[in-house]
Amino acid sequence: MQRVTSYLPAGTPSSHPTAQVKLPHDLRHLRRKLLHLENGEMVMLDLKDPVLFANGDLLVREDGELIEILAADEKLFEIRGRDRTHLVELAWHLGNRHLAAQIEEDRIVILRDHVIRTMLQGLGATVLDIEEPFQPARGAYHSHGGHSHDHGHAHHDRGHNHNPEHDHDHTHDHTCDHDHDHGHGHGHHGHKHD
C-alpha cells in the first residue's frame, strides 16, 4: 500500500492529480489515517504533524503521484442579513459561540444546528437549508502547516477603555475556560468586566 508523507497546497502549479479523496470538513483535520480514494484504492496518510486540509489540497504519494482532497457536500445553513452591518453582527454572535463558519461577502455558512437557527432567526437573519462543500475559516486555532494554538487574542486588561460611565453586564457563551478577548468586536467601546 502506498504511503503519503507530504502534501501541497491547492493551486500548486503543474500539479495533475491522478486520484481523489472526498471528505467532510470535520474529517479533513488529519495526521495519520487510512484513506479510501474515489477509485477504490487505499493509501496510508502518515504526516509528522496534524494538518487541516482545504478543498483542492494535494497529497503526495511515495511514488510521486498526487491525490486531490475534495470537500464533500454537507447539510448546512446559509445565513443572510438585512445588510452588511447586520451580517457582521450575526457573525459576531456565531463567533461568540465558537462555531465553525464559512464567511463570505454576502453570506455566512455553518453546519446545521436548529438551536442556532432559532437564535439567528430571532436576530432577524434569513436562514436557508443548503447542501454543498463546507470550508470554514481556519481561525487562530488551526493553521495549514499543522495544529496551532496561537490564539493571537488580546487580554481584557489591554485595549479596553474602562469607562465608569459605561458599566453594564454582558454574557459570553464561551466553551473555554480562558479569559481573553476573542476579537468579537468589543473594542468599539469600553466595558467594565465584573
pLDDT digits (tens, 9 = 90+) for 15-24: 789 999 999 9
pTM: 0.66
DSSP-derived 3-state class of residue 114: helix
pLDDT above 70: residue 101: yes
Distance CA 156, CA 67 (A): 45
Q: What is the mean pLDDT of the chain?
A: 79
Which CATH fold would you assign to the domain 74-133?
A: Alpha-Beta Plaits (3.30.70)
DSSP-assigned states of every residue in 59-95: EEETTS-EEEEEEPEEEEEEEE-SSHHHHHHHHHHHH
> What is the per-residue pLDDT for 119?
97
Mean pLDDT in residue range 76-97: 97
Distance CA 149, CA 80 (A): 30
- Answer yes or no: are the C-beta atoms of 55 and 10 closer than 8 Å: yes
Residues 6+ apart with CB under 8 A from 129: 75, 76, 77, 78, 112
Lowest-pLDDT choice from 29-33, 57-61, 138-142: 138-142
Lowest-pLDDT choice from 36-45, 49-58, 149-158, 178-187: 149-158
Query: In angstroms, what is the C-alpha Rg of the chain?
Result: 20
> What is the per-residue pLDDT for 13?
85
Which CATH fold would you assign to the domain 3-71?
A: HSP40/DNAj peptide-binding domain (2.60.260)
Domain residue ranges of the chain, discontinuous segments joined by +:
3-71, 74-133
Q: How confident is the model at residue 139 (pLDDT cuts 50, 70, 90)?
A: low
pLDDT digits (tens, 9 = 90+) for 140-157: 544 444 433 333 333 333
Lowest-pLDDT choice from 3-7, 14-18, 49-53, 101-105: 14-18
pLDDT digits (tens, 9 = 90+) for 155-170: 333 333 434 344 444 4
